Amino acid sequence: MAIDLIAKFSVIDKVDPNESKEIFDLFLAPDEQIILSYKNVRDKVVFTTKKIICYDVQGMTGSKKEYRFFPYSKVSSFSVETAGFFDGDADFKIWVSGVGCFEIKFGRKLDIKELGSFMASKI
């Protein structure tokens, strides 16, 4: 079955949510907090109390940046696929109503089940 993939990110490290606050603070509501934060070399994905925000640094110089927002109220479903023996990364997919599918690939050392549990509490 083909998936209409709107975005795909890879993350390799979990970081302290406070480390991401400076980048995302402008986009947070006054009562909103970053709960989970992940990064790749330049890109970041955070899960707040209200939404998912993806930060994509583009180009050689990194001067172009894109933010994508996915409110939990628009997430219709999600899936968690753990890493296999030969497949070194785990997959997390969400389906956003009216938009399509969004995928995050997690490095083997990250606990994707923690994210699955968090998302279960949000939708």
12-21 contact pairs (CB < 8 A, 24+): 12/39, 12/40, 12/107, 12/110, 13/38, 13/39, 13/40, 13/107, 13/110, 14/38, 14/110, 14/111, 15/39, 15/44, 17/46, 20/44, 20/46
Tens of pLDDT, residue by residue over 54-93, are 888 887 777 888 888 999 999 999 988 887 777 778 888 8
Can you give the pTM of this predicted structure? Answer: 0.86
pLDDT tops 80 at residue 23: yes
Domains of the chain, with CATH numbers? Answer: 5-122 (2.30.29.50)
